Amino acid sequence: MALRRCRIHKLSPTLTGKKCVSSTQSAVRTYYSIHHPDPAPFPPIQAQILSTALKNVPRLGFSRDALLSGCRENGYLEASAQLFPRGVYDLIHYYLVTQRLALKEKVQFQQDAKLGLTQKVKTLTWARLQANVDDGIIEHWQDALGHMSLLENIPASLKELGNLSDEIWYLSGDTQVDFGWYTKRAQLAAVYAATETFMSTDRSKDYADTKEFLDRRLGDVRVVGGTVGGAMSYMGWIAGNGLGLARSWGMKKDAEQQPNNLVGISLFGNQDEVEAMSRLKKKLSSMRNNRS
């Protein structure tokens, strides 16, 4: 079984106003065991604030206002938002992590269920995508993608995408430990990222177009096995947008020397996906204009 890294949090008190809150130091446990569950991914105080802030995202979006509301509603001064050095992205990251960890409770397969591995992967993938709808944040997910594509957030975004892919394969019952372990996770990461991006612009009833899109992409993986192309398409898109957004939001970069904001589009082979990316580009451009 592949090793999993988990963080052990140590709390030290810091006074920030009405309440004493905690800063975080993390140590890494370099082994994984089903007999020793991972510790909580976030310290209690931060988790409390972020959880409350997340409930306000449907109304306030992934914004600093939502983060500040989490502080106020828990009795902390707004200065407590300094606990989150990455600002809004810390709220997005909290959502990504908690939704990934919730999958094992949301989807449980009966031992006698006659489902193949592919069907289990599809079921788990759709359950994670559906959470964006059920939690009322789908209308704000394009904004979240914009924050995720900022240069400083790309490493954490890609890491969490990899963790989600690993979790889905693990929960589906995949036990292979050969080189295919890496191949399948890279493929699924690319499929998930592309489908989630498509879903953020889908206006069909009950996201029927997204379901078809997911079926098609999973079918492409089985037939073609395009690991490198799929992974590069996502990485190219998110890196390209990161450069474009960072350049527009204050980083001193020469636009003439940088690639197009949607560098990843040329690596996608499906026209529907290209159109979804184009719609997302317009949204990101609007975000840049509003911030400037």
How much is the pTM? 0.71
Q: What is the 3-state secondary structure (H, E, C) of the chain?
A: CCCCCEEEEEEEEEECCCCEEEEEEEEEECCCECCECCCCCCCHHHHHHHHHHHHCHHHHCCCHHHHHHHHHHCCCCHHHHHHCCCCHHHHHHHHHHHHHHHHHHHCCCCCCCCCCHHHHHHHHHHHHHHHHHHCCCHHHHHHHHHHHCCHHHHHHHHHHHHHHHHHHHHHCCCCCCCCHHHHHHHHHHHHHHHHHHHHCCCCCHHHHHHHHHHHHHHHHHHHHCCHHHHHHHHHHHHHHHHHHHHHHCCCCCCHHHCCCCCHHHHHCCCHHHHHHHHHHHHHHHHHHHHHC
Which residue would you say has higher pLDDT here, 59 or 227? 59
The mean per-residue pLDDT over the stretch 131-136 comes to 95
User: 94 falls in which pLDDT band (50, 70, 90)?
Assistant: very high
pLDDT digits (tens, 9 = 90+) for 178-215: 777 888 888 899 999 999 999 999 999 999 999 999 99
